[in-house]
Amino acid sequence: MTGNDLQAYAPLLLHLILAMVLAGALLTLSSLVGWRRPSKVKSQAYECGITPTGDARAPFSVKFYLVGIIFILFDVEAIFLYPWAFIFRSLRWFGFVEMLLYIAILLVGYFYLWKKGALDWNRPAARRDRTS
């Protein structure tokens, strides 16, 4: 990079430095001036305005994690379809075959999850583990 290229980034660098200085000053000022009055209510967990009941570390079903991970996987995989659809005409048969392969891999994963019972909410988790 030449000197002219670096000068083009000078406003951005100045903006970042100013943001860091302002954030640091506000945090320092808040810690110096702010009141410290700890109480039982302030140290209690906040649950959207509802008084918390029970232990926060209570165990719950792994199905919630499975559904979340499955959703993220299929959501990210669906996002890959958009760029492919955008350049489909220029890819021609190669792009079509590649996308068929991609969808086939997705379907294999989907059927695997279906076979393992990860999508069945009526079966308990312990019973699902014994059948694998």
Report helix, strand or coil for 4. Answer: helix
Please name which of 112, 76, 111, 82 lies closest in space to residue 99, comparing C-alpha atoms: 82
Query: What is the rounded CA–CA span in Å between residue 87 and residue 98?
Result: 13
Q: What is the DSSP letter of 9?
A: T
pLDDT at 15: 96
pLDDT band at 124 (very low <50, low <70, confident <90, very high): low
Length of the chain: 132
Two structure tokens written together for 51: 């008084």
100 band by pLDDT with thresholds 50, 70 and 90: very high
Residue 117 to residue 131: CA distance in whole angstroms: 9
Tell me the average pLDDT across 23-50: 85
